[in-house]
Homo-oligomer: A and B are copies of this chain.
């Protein structure tokens, strides 16, 4: 592993962090099955309270794996995982190169 690989590791940190929680994994699952969902729609499907869901959505948004679109009073959340997938691809390539 070189400095280059370490950089990729560090860049991936926020995504790895955000993915390593089953509640957040569930939310991503819901969004992958539904295109766009509001906080309340996600809460219905989840075991968490609305504020907890809202909190996890914030984390997911900060990590760049979801995005929001406001329509009236409702906020529709949807996946935006292009960057995350790119990063994970790079990470995987680095791991295969240096760690096997």
- A residues with a Cβ closer than 8 A to B are 1, 5-6, 9-10, 12-13, 16-17, 19-20, 22, 25, 28-29, 32-33, 79, 81-82, 84-85, 88-89, 91-92, 95-96, 98-100
Contact B16 A29 (CB under 8 A): no
Contact A79 B92 (CB under 8 A): no
Contact B20 A20 (CB under 8 A): yes
| Contact A1:B96 (CB < 8 A) given known A17-B20, A20-B17 | no
Total copies of this chain within the assembly: 2
Q: In the complex, A99 Cα to B99 Cα: how many Å?
A: 27
Q: Of B22, B29, B81, B99, which is within 8 A of A81 by CB?
A: B99
